[in-house]
Amino acid sequence: MNKSMKCIILIFAVIMIMVITGLGFCKGRNQEKITKEKKIEKAENGEKTTKYVNNEVTKDKQTGIYYVKNVIDIFFDESISETEKTEIIDEVQGSIIDSIPSVNQVQIKIPETDYQGLKRTIEIIEEKEGVLAATSDIVVPIDMSSRKEFKAENPKKDYTNKADWYQKIGAESFEQYKTSHINVGVVDVGFDFNHADVDIVDLSKIRSKKKDHGTHVAGIIGAKHNSYGINGVLSNCTLYGYDCLPDENQKPYMMSQSCMLYGLIACVEKGCKVINYSVGFSEDEKNLTDIEKYEMGNNWSKYMYIMLHRAKIRQSGNKDDFIVVQAAGNGYRKNKIANIKGRDASNTGFFACIAKENCYHKDDISVNDILDRILIVANAEEKKDGYILDVTSNGGEKISVSAPGDNVYSTVKDGYAMDGGTSMAAPMVAGAVAGIWSIYPEMTGAEVKNAIVETAEDKVKSNPKAPNSADNNQNIYKFLNIKKALQYCEMKKIKEKEVAEMAEEKPETKGEKFTGTAEDMRAAMEKATNLKVVYITTADFDADGNNESFALATDDSKDPYWGYHTAEIWFVDSNGECQCIKKEENISMNDEVLGGGNLFFNYEKHEYQTSSVSCLYGVKNGQPYELQISGKYMNFRIDENRNKYIAEDPEYNEGQQYEDIFFEYDENIEEFYKITN
């Protein structure tokens, strides 16, 4: 073979190799693309732990928010048809990539857009009839500081002497009560589902390799009361663990909000009354911006709204009610060193970002309904002269209560070990909530939270070494006290029984006439009712030239916080005929008479020790009636300088002054209406 022929063959061979390699490369690229798509489809279709690849997450330049590109979660009303759903999705050119039928949710992908375009699409969707809410899927790095390997101690040894936190919070008080079984959810990272001392039901489809943090948290709540290990706050419970970290190989540890949402849904759908979240935003020196907090809080309030809405429409009483307990977070590491210092708890993200200003709600579920079912827990450290907020613990006005989270002994894989932080303080509160609810199942979530917060002791001082906790060293934090919470609940139950029994009794004085002076009327009413008349006021309430009277009668002594625990409101018309118009509990008198031409009888009904609402009655055609704004505002009074009525909004104010609202009275409709401040 001559040299030229060899060159031709060699060139031909090289060309063929390049073609074959190119085809193989193309095939590999196509196969990689197909594999990636299948991987995403598998993770999203039913696994409920969405795992996004890097190119699906982007950062909005305007807000700094990381989010999943072009993805929207839609929650539909139960009455909407599949055809109507399809029409709404088609209108925004969306395609379904996932769904959770149990909550009537679909996740859709829309054409390429930026974050502002995504929000505009969400607004369009939420305006549609049959849509409860829609959200973007924000992605955040999470605090994984406690994800360390523990050297577990002997699993069959008694370590209750090391778990002194149990006595500090008064958990032994539950041992004196008969508790009913209750379900508790733990949304966390890393569970040992085979631990001998704590039974955890697996709700996860994808598990983390390390099995310590979630196990440690779960043991604090519900470790068995036996001859070895530790005692959890409440042993008579079933723990449901949801592993919320989809890919622990990611750096940093990134998590989409939908992953956390799926944990909430999974736990509530299993009947969990309490769901503990000992997770939070990563320990980064950078604080969340106001817009980041607003967007996160708005999304999470939508998740709360959806689940509370479902509980309400089921009309199952308190069966589907629930409370979320979240750790306040462990501050930040400056320059990535171990010197962690607390900051404002709103920087931990998730539920801690929900505020009155960004809380999503509709007519059936109010802002207070949502906020009253969230507890944010700080870590309190014991010193020689009392408790102080741990230097690593986040603080500020978001904190509901604190618990001793330092050096906490609990369950880990293959045994027991010590850990610390707000992650350990939160499950103590979660266990307390579960215990109270297991004894008093008739209570609402708001009432259980109130029992925890109102009875917690004001004894945890701010930490001057953590200047970033945003409390300016002025705050005194509450410390969990289970014993007092149980006493509070027992007293509440007794008082409710007394009110119910009193309500069953029919007033025997209907039709009797009380005339004469106020003292004559008081004496006659007390004789007829066997109650003490503590207030009586007489005026021409309906401006018809004749006087009427309102009176408050009780057989109770006045409590400095709650007023009169049980009382009756009586009305005496201009002819002296009387009637009991209302039986109340926890009331005291405000300004007894308000108004100019038309007058109004006004008293305060105490909902909590620090909160009350004004109740107002007028007189029309000689008979009493309750105004529509009665029971909706607090401290209702007349502004003498402006000759207008003023009240305060009783909803949460995040530590600021209550918002003043001004009203005028319309004589034509005989009701108050709001006016511009």
Query: How many other C-beta atoms can be found within 10 angstroms of the C-beta atom of residue 586?
Result: 22
Q: Is position 393 annotated as part of the catalytic site?
A: no
Residue 171: per-residue pLDDT = 93
- Asked whether the bond before 252 is cis by omega within 30 degrees of 0, the reply is yes
If DSSP codes are grouped into helix, strand and coil, which group holds residue 55? helix
The one catalytic residue in 146, 423, 438, 614 is: 423
Instruction: Please report the pLDDT score of residue 6 as a whole number.
Output: 56
What does CATH list as the number for 54-140?
3.30.70.80
The whole-angstrom separation of Cα 143 and Cα 280 is 5
pLDDT of residue 244: 81
Q: What are phi and psi of 676, to 5 degrees?
A: -65, 140
CA–CA distance, 564 with 583 (Å, rounded to integer): 12
Sign of CA dihedral 225, 227, 231, 232: negative
**What amino acid is encoded at 249 in this protein?**
N
Q: What pLDDT does 22 receive? A: 46
Question: Helices then strands (H, E): number in the chain?
Answer: 12, 34
Cα–Cα distance for residue pair 432/426, rounded to 1 Å: 10
3-state secondary structure of 66: strand
**Has 213 been annotated as catalytic?**
yes
Of 192, 195, 212, 213, the catalytic one is: 213
CATH code for residues 162-497: 3.40.50.200
Q: DSSP characters for 67-128?
A: EEEEEEEEEE-TT--HHHHHHHHHHTT-EEEEEEGGGTEEEEE-SS--HHHHHHHHHHHHTS
- Residue spans of the domains in the chain: they are 1-44, 54-140, 162-497, 510-675
HEC letters along 451-491: HHHHHCEEEEECCCCCCECCCCCCCEEEECCHHHHHHHHHH
Nearest to 51 by CA among 191, 263, 244: 244
Of the candidates 188, 614, 669, the one whose C-alpha atom is nearest the C-alpha of residue 410 is: 188
pLDDT score at 546: 86
| CA dist 550 → 453, 467, 499 (Å) | 35, 53, 20
pLDDT of residue 299: 93
Q: Which amino acid would we find at residue 592?
A: E
DSSP assigned state of 145: T
671-675 and 567-572 as β-strands: parallel, antiparallel, unpaired? unpaired
Burial class (CB in 10 A: 0-12, 13-18, 19+), 20: exposed
Q: Report helix angle 445-455 to 482-504, nearest 10.
A: 130
Q: What is the predicted pLDDT for the residue at 23?
A: 39
Q: Which residues contact 230 (CB under 8 A, 6 or more apart)?
A: 159, 160, 162, 163, 166, 197, 219, 223, 409, 410, 411, 416
pLDDT score for 649: 75
Dist CA 396 CA 377 (whole Å):
11
Q: Which residues pair with 457 in a beta bridge?
A: 479
Count of residues making up the chain: 677
DSSP sequence for 554-577: ESSPEETTTEESSEEEEEE-TTSB
- Residues 198, 223 contacting (CB under 8 angstroms): yes
Of 606, 609, 568, nearest to 590 by C-alpha is: 606
What pLDDT, on a 0 to 100 scale, did the predictor assign at position 369? 92
Q: Return d(Cα 432, Cα 414) in angstroms, integer.
A: 26
* Nearest in space to 484 (alpha carbons), one of 446, 461, 457, 449: 457
| Given 188, 197, 406, 419, the catalytic residue | 188
Q: Are 235 and 224 in contact (CB under 8 A)?
A: yes
Q: Roughly how many angstroms between the first and final C-alpha of the chain, as a whole number?
A: 103
Q: How many CB atoms lie within 10 A of CB 179?
A: 17
199 a catalytic residue: no
Q: Is 647 helix (H, G, I), strand (E, B) or coil?
A: strand
Q: What pLDDT does 29 receive?
A: 36
Token pair belonging to 53: 């690849």
Of residues 543, 541, 596, the one with CA closest to residue 572: 541
Q: What is the pLDDT of residue 219?
A: 95
C-beta separation of 447 from 433 below 8 A = no
- Identify the pLDDT of residue 44: 33
Which helix (H) or strand (E) segment is 162 a member of? Answer: none
Longest dimension (CA), the chain: 139
Whether 423 sits among the annotated catalytic residues: the reply is yes
Angle between helices 482-504 and 422-439 (to 10 degrees): 30
Query: Interhelix angle for 213-222 vs 422-439, to 10°?
Result: 30
Per-residue model confidence (pLDDT) at position 185: 96
Which residue of the set 60, 73, 137, 143 is catalytic?
143
User: What is the mean pLDDT of each successive set of 10 residues along the chain, which is 677 residues long?
Assistant: 56 50 39 31 36 70 90 94 96 93 92 95 96 91 56 66 85 90 93 90 75 90 89 93 68 70 90 92 71 92 93 75 94 58 85 93 89 95 89 90 92 88 95 96 93 90 69 76 92 72 53 70 80 87 86 79 81 86 81 68 75 84 84 78 71 60 76 70
